Structure formats: C-alpha cells, structure tokens
Structure 1
Amino acid sequence: MKTLKTVAVAALTFALFSCGGDKKTDSIPTGSTETTAATTDESTAEMEATAAKYDPNRGLGKHENIDVSTFDPAMAAAGKKVAEVKCTSCHKPTEEKLVGPGWKGVTKRQTPEWIMNFITNPDPMIDVDPELQKQLELCLVRMPNQGLADNEAREILEYMRQIDGAK
C-alpha cells in the first residue's frame, strides 16, 4: 500500500510539473514585443492561408473521393472495435452528447471525405471550420488527435455508416 501511495504521489507530481510548458525566456529580451508580434503575425497569416484552402464539403487533409457505394460489415465491425478503444469515452453511437457529440446522423450531415479528414487530423479543421468552432463552444473540449491510421479511420467511417443505417 505504501508503494502504491508513493507511485501515485510521483505520478501526480510529474503531471503537475509536466503541464507547465517551456518557461524559456532568454530568447525574448524583457520588454521586447517585436518577436511576439512577428510570431503572432505569422500565425495569423498561416491561419488565413489555411482558411482560404478550407473546403466545407471535404475539410482539410489528404482524403478525397472516399468510395462508400457499398457497405462492408466486416469493416464496420473492425471500426466498432477501434472506436471502443479510441472514441467511445467521448462519443456515443446515439444522438446523445457525452463529452463530444453523438455519432447518429453524422454521415447524413457530413461527406465521407470530411469525416475522414476530421478524425485523422482534427486540429486544422477546428481552427477554421465555423461549425466545429460552434461545437467546441458547446462541448468545451477540443477533439484530440487519436493518431488513427488511414485504415482505422476508414473502418470508423464504415461503423458510423452502420449506425446511420447503411446495409
């Protein structure tokens, strides 16, 4: 029991100090705003360029022309297994919101390309998509990048299609 308490205290201490971020201040002289302003300008320009490339039907990313002409039950079953590990702590297969929104109806509202691009790399899309920003205001938590492989994302898409009645 003493060992368990020691491990718990060590983990808590590590978590508290690791979340502090990088406190380096030697690269920016005290009182200097030039570097900060330049960084902000670059970030703003990058965000505007990304927003200009944003396609609300496809999202942002490499996934284009996803063929969903036939339903694959084996792929949907594999997608359910991946989702149980990586997704269901925040999403329900119903319309009910958990941490994030429920999945029921998502394949009716979004294209397969949009879904694939979002679940494989959510951050750039959250930054520019007005609907995702509204969702963030409701959920209060950004969707984390789960590091899904393309095949896992495609399996999850097929599982979402099954939820929405694909056969």
Structure 2
Amino acid sequence: MKTIHSIAAACLTLSLLSCGGDKKTDSVPAASTETATSETSTANAYDPKRGIGKHENVDVSTFDPAMAAEGRKLAEVKCTSCHKPTEEKLVGPGWKGVTQRQTPEWIMNFISNPDPMIDVDPELQKQLELCLVRMPNQGLADNEARQILEYMREIDGAK
C-alpha cells in the first residue's frame, strides 16, 4: 500500500509541476525599438500605386495567352479555394476588375508577399475586416506571380 501511495504522490507532484508552464513561451515579448523602427520605415516606404516589394516596372503592353493559361493552372492550385474569377466574394474578393483598380506592380507585389502590404495599406485592412482571413503567402516565384497577373488580365478582357 505504501508503494501505491508513493507512486500516486510522485505522479501528482509531476503533474502539478508540468502545469506551471514555461515562462519563455507564456510571456509576450515587448516590441523592440528596432522592430518598431523597421515597421515605421516600411509604412513610410509604402507607395499606393505599387505597394511594397521589388516589382517596379511590369510591362503589360502585350497580352500573352500562354502565360495566362499557366496563370490559370497556378490559380486553380493556389488561389481558387479563396478567390473566384468573377466579382463574387468567396473567402477573399473576386478577381473581376482587379487589374482595372490596381497597377500591375501593386498586384505582383501583393500576391508575391502580402503581409507587408496588409500591414500598411488602408484598403487591404478594410478588406481584411470584411473577409476576416489574412491572405497567406503562397511562396510564388516572380514568373508565377507574372503568370497569375496575366490570367487576371485575361479575366478583365485583355487580348
């Protein structure tokens, strides 16, 4: 009987100790000055015509149907669970008309790396309030982002 009590006491002690939590993971670190400065400089660098990112001059002077077809395939894998090619909202907004509302540079910067733009763009923040889901970074390569842009252009009537 003493053995059972000893084992029970040991188990109780271990369970109480394990419930204490690890202070390193339970605490929320304070924002450092470096992070705050970085976010401020990112907000200051935001250009509503091109967003934030490396895409500065996207040539859309001619329509490339083969590129649009590749963009459609990519979109079917990475985008259509949240976006429709119409104006209808699914999880995210529909794509119809997006190339008329935004510049090619803005679209490519956003779909390539949405987080920095969502953090500073007032229109994207309003969209987030409506959709309630932050657009995930799909890890698109530059050529994939360009193909999806060409597909969006096709949706909007580019020929």
Query: TM-score scaled to structure 2, two decimals?
Result: 0.82
3-state DSSP class of the match of 2:23? Answer: coil
1:145 equivalent to 2:137? Answer: yes
Query: Which segments of 5 or more consecutive residues in structure 1 lack a partner in the other structure?
Result: 1-22
- Identity score, percent: 78
Q: Distance in 2 between matches of 1:143 and 1:163?
A: 20
Q: Distance in 2 between matches of 1:60 and 1:161?
A: 21
Question: Is 1:80 aligned with 2:56?
Answer: no
1:101 to 82, 93, 99: 93
Q: CA separation of 1:144/1:26 partners in 2, compared to 1, >3 Å: closer, same or farther?
A: closer
Structure 2 alignment gaps of length 5 or more: 1-20
The one-letter code matched in structure 1 to 2:96 is K
Question: How many correspondences in the alignment?
Answer: 139
| 1:14-163 superposed matches below 5 A | 25-26=23-24, 36-37=29-30, 39-163=31-155
Give the structure 1 partner of residue 158 of structure 2.
166
One-letter amino acid matched to 1:109: R
Q: Matched residues in 1 for 2:112 and 2:40: separation?
A: 22
- CA distance in 2 between counterparts of 1:26 and 1:80 reads 45
Alignment RMSD (CA, Å): 2.0
Cα distance, 1:49 vs structure 2 = 1.0
Give the TM-score of the pair, scaled to structure 1: 0.78
